[in-house]
């Protein structure tokens, strides 16, 4: 097969590249309770939630530019700079969720994250804000069950291979009784390690793979789509990775993984699971995690929930992308 684009053959350098040992706390950690612009932003969000203009209508209809959110715009710009020019992720503490209704929390979360990027649909039917919770279902081939709706562990991945959002944001409302740790890896570092150990596998990753579409498509359409793992776009290298969905995609397409494809996926899995690569975080209520979905892989370990419904693990997710349409397919 011919490659559709040039192949990057030199390693990545600079602050965009990191591993588990890199000291990133000062760059990537923020807090809504910090004195100054962050705390002022929290107060602005509280005022927005109480403003009659925001009303009880759908939070999706609230336009942040219609409100005075100067501190929030400044705070959001500092976070986006870290996502774009820095390590590619941010952990934000103390989002003001205490003693607020579910609607108000979503309204404030939607409004602030809209200042970082435009929210887009996370399902083919147009769902814009997504609850990450175990629904007691099992992920089975062809059933369309997303791992985000189970308590299973995940592989490192990026979200939405057909049209990747620029950023993925998660707000924690409740943690699991046990497990559910968040993991992040730098995919530029993954690329560098592939260059060092498996450079002959990289050309295959610039070619197309079958991906399981998880039933996010029109009735009658193919359950699989084709995309490369590595693709050079206008802003550099875009990376789509979720090896479980690729392997499922070949099963759904009725194709056997050829040797070149299988060895490329095995090499990628080996590198992504290497010791000393990823960072692990323990979510707590009121904490927000935002990642650059084009160059940071994320995952969650398996977890066990409490028996009480109100104590079950619950995150709220947004996908942010400024280009294209707001639909799932962009």
- What is the structure's pLDDT at 235? 74
Which of 128, 130, 135 has the alpha carbon at shortest distance from 149? 135
Q: How many CB atoms lie within 10 A of CB 191?
A: 21
- What is the structure's pLDDT at 305? 95
- What is the structure's pLDDT at 67? 81
- The set of residues, in sequence order, having a beta carbon less than 8 Å from that of 271 and lying 6+ positions away, is 190, 193, 194, 197, 198, 277
Q: Is 313:301 a contact under the CB 8 Å cutoff?
A: no
- The set of residues, in sequence order, having a beta carbon less than 8 Å from that of 77 and lying 6+ positions away, is 115
Tens of pLDDT along the chain (330 residues) come to 445 568 999 999 999 999 999 999 999 999 999 999 999 999 999 998 887 766 666 777 777 777 889 999 999 999 999 999 999 999 999 999 999 999 999 999 999 999 999 999 999 999 999 999 999 887 777 777 889 999 999 999 999 998 999 999 999 999 999 999 999 999 999 999 999 999 999 999 999 999 999 999 998 899 999 999 999 987 789 999 999 999 999 999 999 999 999 999 999 999 999 999 999 999 999 999 999 999 999 999 999 999 999 999 999 999 999 999 999 998
Strands 236-239 and 230-233: antiparallel
- What is the structure's pLDDT at 140? 75
Q: Is 190:298 a contact under the CB 8 Å cutoff?
A: no
Compute the half-sphere exposure of residue 253: CA atoms within 13 Å on the CB side of its CA. Answer: 17
- What is the structure's pLDDT at 1? 45
- The set of residues, in sequence order, having a beta carbon less than 8 Å from that of 97 and lying 6+ positions away, is 105, 171, 173, 285, 286
Burial class of residue 42, CB neighbours in 10 A (0-12, 13-18, 19+): buried
- What is the structure's pLDDT at 220? 86
pTM of the predicted structure, to 2 decimals: 0.94
- What is the structure's pLDDT at 51? 76
């Amino acid at each position: 097969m011919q490659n559709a684009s040039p192949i990057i053959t030199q390693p990545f350098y600079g602050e965009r590249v990191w591993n588990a040992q890199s000291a990133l706390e000062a760059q990537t950690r923020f807090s809504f309770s910090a004195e100054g612009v962050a705390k002022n932003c929290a107060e602005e969000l509280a005022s927005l939630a109480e403003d009659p203009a925001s009303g009880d209508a759908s939070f999706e209809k609230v336009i942040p530019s219609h409100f005075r959110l100067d501190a929030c715009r400044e705070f959001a710009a500092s976070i986006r700079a870290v996502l774009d020019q820095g390590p590619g992720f941010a952990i934000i503490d103390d989002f003001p969720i205490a003693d607020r209704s579910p609607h108000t929390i979503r309204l404030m979360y939607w409004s602030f994250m809209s200042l970082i990027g435009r929210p887009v649909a996370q399902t083919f039917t147009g769902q814009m804000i997504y609850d990450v919770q175990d629904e007691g279902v099992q992920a089975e081939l062809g059933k369309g069950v997303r791992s985000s709706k189970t308590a299973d562990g995940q592989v490192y991945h990026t979200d939405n291979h057909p049209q990747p959002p620029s950023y993925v944001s998660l707000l924690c409302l409740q943690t699991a009784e046990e497990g559910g740790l968040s993991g992040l890896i730098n995919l530029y570092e993954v690329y560098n390690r592939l260059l060092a150990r498996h450079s002959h596998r990289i050309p295959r990753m610039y070619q197309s793979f079958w991906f399981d579409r998880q039933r996010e498509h029109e009735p009658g359409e193919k359950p699989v789509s084709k995309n490369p793992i590595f693709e050079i776009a206008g802003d550099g290298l875009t990376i789509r990775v979720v090896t479980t969905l690729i392997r499922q995609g070949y099963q759904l397409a009725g194709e056997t993984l050829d040797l070149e494809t299988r060895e490329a996926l095995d090499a990628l899995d080996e590198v992504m699971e290497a010791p000393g690569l990823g960072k692990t975080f323990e979510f707590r209520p009121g904490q927000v995690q935002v990642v650059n979905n084009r160059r940071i892989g994320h995952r969650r370990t398996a977890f066990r929930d409490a028996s009480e419904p109100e104590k079950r693990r619950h995150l709220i997710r947004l996908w942010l992308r400024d280009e294209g349409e707001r639909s799932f397919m962009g």
